[in-house]
């Protein structure tokens, strides 16, 4: 069952070009924007994440879909991922929030009870009208796709034989509506050519009622774009049609102005290590086995991290901070304190364990290693588990950004620890991988196991949706252009050489 990413998350934007590795791989491009609000204290971010966690709900060759993201990584700048998708015929554009923890694409429909009509994100909200699309069709209760919907929601069947859904969340909010089938439009890239408005049929939710936080206009969008594993997720539907691979990846840049990329496909990087996904789980659960601080394994029972109904470790890019199970938190904080006791002054402020220091945290604080099944380790720098709050008398206040989930056995790895890493969700292989990476650089994305290497820079294509300002992509030159450049340089060198000899 899905997360729904309505509360604040850390937003990032695209600062990288995409290289597609495969035979005749096809790239499909969508553009994401980012909206921000005023900065929040660490305690406020924790409260917003808690609201999110309360929402845990019980024939072409494959190509690449890349989602350019806009913004910077700053936990005190509240934002969210959203992109524009076109649905229906004629196509209509909707702003939908990207959520790696939920499964269903749904948008507000006409009529809708409780749906916001304005947004503090400075976007124009729209409503999908099934009667205005010539290709829209209702999903009947006997349709097998209705059974797929039961995996992610409370399935409903009306007297009109319409397949419906209801999502109820732990914070009291919710949405309900009916499932529709209609076209989603994508910009397709093959080699250096762009084919606009290629389309594919998908099932999505048509929301006719919203309650709770979903009705608030401050960060309202037209709907949610889920990236979960269940059958009705868009990635599952598109991969089953052979349009995209059954995998997606992201790389979130932490500093220097932010940046990052989210793609459907596997980013190729030689240093990626993988750990298996825990099978038959609704979220992206992995087996965390131990935690080491400065090379010393913490005294935590392995059963603390064992996956069960109310335990386990979840990777979720929609969570701003990171959270440890209650039994693991105190040993972690104590180990950090012992490592830095001679160099910093510990303070406790607003419910957070913090430290007062005038030195660089990278020189004082120890590395932390999260060790997973399969021998995969995620090494965290101090910047990956600490957050600077403010300063006192010229000394910086750094707080532990990894929080305690009081009374719960769940560990959640959010953007705080995932930034500055390639993270690959290989759904076909049922594994998740990662590697440290400069997310301002271009990435290679694999669309098949064999075939020639083809480099595609979506930012250089005419009419490509990623050319909307203010997105800036790193140029990627073809081998032909590169060879021409070398010839020009060589010619200039020869001419200059002869000129110098004549003058001598």
Active-site residues, by number, are 99, 316
330: left (phi over 0), alpha (psi -120 to 50) or beta: alpha
Contact (Cβ atoms closer than 8 angstroms) between residue 229 and residue 151: no
Residues facing residue 181 across a β-bridge:
137, 203
Contact (Cβ atoms closer than 8 angstroms) between residue 377 and residue 371: yes
Residues facing residue 247 across a β-bridge:
426
Residue holding tokens 């990626």? 272
- What is the spatial distance between Cα 318 and Cα 53, in angstroms, rounded to a whole number? 10
Q: If you write DSSP's letter for every residue of 434-445 in order, what string do you get?
A: EEE--TTS-EEE
Cis ω before 90 (30° cut-off from 0):
yes
Contact (Cβ atoms closer than 8 angstroms) between residue 40 and residue 48: yes
258: left (phi over 0), alpha (psi -120 to 50) or beta: left
Q: If you write DSSP's letter for every residue of 182-241 in order, what string do you get?
A: EEEEEEEEETTEEEEEEEEEEEEEEEEEEEGGGG-STT--SEEEE--SSTTSHHHHHHHT
């Amino acid at each position: 069952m899905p997360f729904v990413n309505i509360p604040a998350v850390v937003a990032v934007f695209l600062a990288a070009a995409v290289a597609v590795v495969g035979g005749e791989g096809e790239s499909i491009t969508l553009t994401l924007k980012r909206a921000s609000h005023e900065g929040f204290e660490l305690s406020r971010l924790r409260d917003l994440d808690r609201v999110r966690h309360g929402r845990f709900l019980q024939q072409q060759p494959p190509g690449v879909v890349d989602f350019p993201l806009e913004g910077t990584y700053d936990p005190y700048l509240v934002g969210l991922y959203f992109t524009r998708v076109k649905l229906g015929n004629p196509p209509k554009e909707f702003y939908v929030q990207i959520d790696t923890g939920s499964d269903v694409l749904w948008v507000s429909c006409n009529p809708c009870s409780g749906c916001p009509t304005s947004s503090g994100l400075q976007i124009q909200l729209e409503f999908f009208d099934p009667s205005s699309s010539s290709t829209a069709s209702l999903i009947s209760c006997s349709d097998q796709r209705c059974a797929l919907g039961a995996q992610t929601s409370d399935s409903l069947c009306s007297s009109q034989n319409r397949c419906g859904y209801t999502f109820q969340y732990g914070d009291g909010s919710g949405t309900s509506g009916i499932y529709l089938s209609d076209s989603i439009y994508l910009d397709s890239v093959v080699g250096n050519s762009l084919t606009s408005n290629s389309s594919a049929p998908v099932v999505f939710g048509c929301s006719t009622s919203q309650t709770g936080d979903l009705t608030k206009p401050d960060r309202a969008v037209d709907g949610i774009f889920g990236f979960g594993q269940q059958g009705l997720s868009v990635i599952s539907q598109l991969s089953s049609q052979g349009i995209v691979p059954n995998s997606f990846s992201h790389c979130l840049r932490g500093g220097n102005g932010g940046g990052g990329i989210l793609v459907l496909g596997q980013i190729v990087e030689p240093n990626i290590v993988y750990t298996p996904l825990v099978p038959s789980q609704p979220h992206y659960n992995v087996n965390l086995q131990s935690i080491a601080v400065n090379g010393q394994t913490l005294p935590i029972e392995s059963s603390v991290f064992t996956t069960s109904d109310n335990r386990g470790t979840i990777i979720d890019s929609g969570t701003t901070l990171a959270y440890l199970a209650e039994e693991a938190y105190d040993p972690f904080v104590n180990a950090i304190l012992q490592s830095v006791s001679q160099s910093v002054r510990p303070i406790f402020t607003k419910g957070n364990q913090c430290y007062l220091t005038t030195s660089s945290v990278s020189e004082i604080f120890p590395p932390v290693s999260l060790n997973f099944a399969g021998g995969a380790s995620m090494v965290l720098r101090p910047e990956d588990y600490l957050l600077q709050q403010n300063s006192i008398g010229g000394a910086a206040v750094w707080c532990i950004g990894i929080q305690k989930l009081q009374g719960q056995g769940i560990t959640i790895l959010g953007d705080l620890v995932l930034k500055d890493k390639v993270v690959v969700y290989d759904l076909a292989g049922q594994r998740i991988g990662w590697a440290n990476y400069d997310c301002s650089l271009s990435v290679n994305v694999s669309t098949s196991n064999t075939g020639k290497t083809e480099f595609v820079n979506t930012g250089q294509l005419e009419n490509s949706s990623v050319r909307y300002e203010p997105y800036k992509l790193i140029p990627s030159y073809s081998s032909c252009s590169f060879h021409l450049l070398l010839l020009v340089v060589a010619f200039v060198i020869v001419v200059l050489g002869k000129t110098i000899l004549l003058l001598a």
